[in-house]
Structure 1
Amino acid sequence: MGPTAAHGHRYPSDIAFTPTVKAMQARLGSRELYARMERDRGWGVSLTPEIAAFIEAQTSVFLGTANAEGQPYIQHRGGPAGFLHVVDEHTLAFADFIGNQQYITLGNLADNAKAYLFLIDYARRRRVKIWGHARVVEDAELIAELMPAGYKARAERAIVFTVRAWDMNCPQHIPQRFEAADVRSALDERDARIRELEAAAAQHEARVRELQAQVARLRESASP
């Protein structure tokens, strides 16, 4: 059997691979592949140090919820790297910054605690999917702990996400894109290296001219 699963599931991936999904996989030819995955590797149920580092490096995430009628909704959440905190191997949390005040996510979570996080790193072409439950916490001390230092945003509540299963997908079809700050940093590093090489080249040229002048003087002194 694969990794330990809870809530009546045999495998962690059963949170997404319902009987109907498995029947669809069987009909379309991928069930054997995923059955082998379930047995041999499976999805994670605890956040590893590698996944935790990936999560806390993200500046943009998507939070999926659904209302009591099953209508799904996806909300974007962003902030400086580290705004999404890994509390422990089963818990994530972040300050819920004040936005357009539609409160769709808050309303959905009041009716249905099931939630989903989608994280994508375009530069390295990696994505992580996390299934679990989320709850709203209005605790000033917790919010203060979760607020990124120096970030100009306000939050009146926090979202605490309990992880039930996660999976890292392959890079297929992910376009490679880079953050503007990363591009600027790379260009600044390149320009600094160019200046360093130009300075070294100028020093070398000056030394060559000095040696040429010495040779010329020696020739003059040696001439009859």
Structure 2
Amino acid sequence: MSSPFHPGEQAIQTRLGVREQVEAMGSRMIRNHMPEQHRQFFSQLPWLLVGSLDSDGQPVASVLWGKPGFVHSPEPSLLRINARPEMDDPLRANLHDAARLGLLGLELPTRRRNRMNGPLMEDDTDGFTVAVQQSFGNCPRYIQARDWRWDSRPAGALEQGSGLDPRWLALVQRSDTLFIASQHLDPHTGGVDISHRGGAPGFVQLGADGRLWLPDYNGNQLFNTLGNLLLEPRCGLLWVDFDSGDLLQLEARAEILWPGKAGQQPHPDLPGAERLVALTPGRWRLRRRRLPLGFGAAQPSPFLPQGH
């Protein structure tokens, strides 16, 4: 029986001594269809996180939105999204016949999250349909709970550039939530993934070297994202301003920094980090006031590392 994990994931699982344990767990929890509770879960959401690849293979992290029910599952092997990306969202150009997509459903008030990855099956004027290649749930750790409401606002401008920029750095430095899109390149079993990262406000810090330092806390030990980055360091990052509705999409190159190596000890200002991911900023887009959702005050996760 083939493993649900690719060589990058397996390498990190082996390095940390959890390979056999995680293989058994993954074989049970990672499915090629959605169970009924996942199908119902997606239909309750007002938003959906989407990972895609551009024509150069650069991962992009995006978010779509609609009235609950805009995402639904007509059958266990399919997920239908009745929404189209905005004109200045790179996702729009990334929906093509050969596209592979990563989807993340995140219900902030309850901290529930489910992942689904697979190929694009249909793309039309109303939305698109994705076939299930892998479907699995994630634990609620490090998710800051928030209530939501509809909050329509006039869309703002697009700002864009490349590299570190003060126009978006303040958002990063006060945020408690990040989404990261990555990929595994195998032509037969590979795909795109988008995952959640969370911490105390400012958990992603600017290092003296001009890179963004992302702490990697104890998690489910599947290492989907790190396994992807080990083999392909390009990633796409998305920050949401929960007050203004601004969306920051940043391309980056990642380096995994392991403790115990000279010059690679965890940063002293990042308590609880078992590893670090150093992110070199590339091209970025800051789409002002786009997300038509308003959010209540964050209820911090009880799993945040000590020291926050």
What residue is the counterpart of 1:102 in the other structure? 222
- How many angstroms does 1:89 deviate by? 8.4
Aligned to 1:172, which of 277, 290, 298?
A: 290
Matched length: 147
Q: Distance in 2 between matches of 1:161 and 1:52?
A: 13
TM-score of the aligned structures, taking structure 1 as reference length: 0.56
Q: Does 1:58 align with 2:178?
A: no
What residue is the counterpart of 2:274 in the other structure? 156
Q: Distance in 1 between matches of 2:247 and 2:90?
A: 19
Equivalent position SS for 1:135: strand
Equivalent position SS for 1:56: helix
Q: For residues 163 and 76 of structure 1, do their structure 2 counterparts lie closer, same or farther at Cα, with a shift above 3 Å needed?
A: same
What residue is the counterpart of 1:134 in the other structure? 254
Q: Does 1:121 align with 2:241?
A: yes
Q: Which amino acid aligns with 1:133?
A: R
Q: Does 1:78 align with 2:195?
A: no
- Could you tell me which runs of 5 or more consecutive residues in structure 1 were left unpaired when the two chains were aligned: 1-8, 10-15, 29-40, 149-153, 183-224
Equivalent position SS for 1:125: coil
- Could you tell me which runs of 5 or more consecutive residues in structure 2 were left unpaired when the two chains were aligned: 1-55, 57-88, 97-124, 126-157, 301-308
Equivalent position SS for 2:295: coil
Equivalent position SS for 1:105: helix
Q: Does 1:147 align with 2:267?
A: no
Q: Distance in 2 between matches of 1:161 and 1:130?
A: 10
Q: Which has the higher strand share?
A: 2
What residue is the counterpart of 1:188 in the other structure? none
- How many angstroms does 1:165 deviate by? 0.8
Q: Distance in 1 between matches of 2:284 and 2:252?
A: 9
Q: For residues 42 and 49 of structure 1, do their structure 2 counterparts lie closer, same or farther at Cα, with a shift above 3 Å needed?
A: closer
Q: Which has the higher helix share?
A: 1
Asked whether the equivalents of residues 61 and 117 of structure 1 are also in contact (C-alpha less than 8 Å), the reply is: yes
Q: Distance in 2 between matches of 1:21 and 1:128?
A: 18
Asked whether the equivalents of residues 90 and 164 of structure 1 are also in contact (C-alpha less than 8 Å), the reply is: no
Q: Distance in 1 between matches of 2:254 and 2:200?
A: 21
What residue is the counterpart of 2:165 in the other structure? 48
Q: Which amino acid aligns with 1:175?
A: L
Q: Which amino acid aligns with 2:230?
A: A
Q: Deviations over 1:58-79 (max 9, x none)?
A: 0011111101235111121111
Q: For residues 62 and 137 of structure 1, do their structure 2 counterparts lie closer, same or farther at Cα, with a shift above 3 Å needed?
A: same
Q: Which amino acid aligns with 1:169?
A: R
TM-score of the aligned structures, taking structure 2 as reference length: 0.42
Q: Deviations over 1:146-174 (max 9, x none)?
A: 414xxxxx332100111111110132343
Asked whether the equivalents of residues 247 and 291 of structure 2 are also in contact (C-alpha less than 8 Å), the reply is: no
Stretches of 4+ aligned residues off by more than 4 angstroms: none
Equivalent position SS for 2:162: coil
- How many angstroms does 1:17 deviate by? 6.4
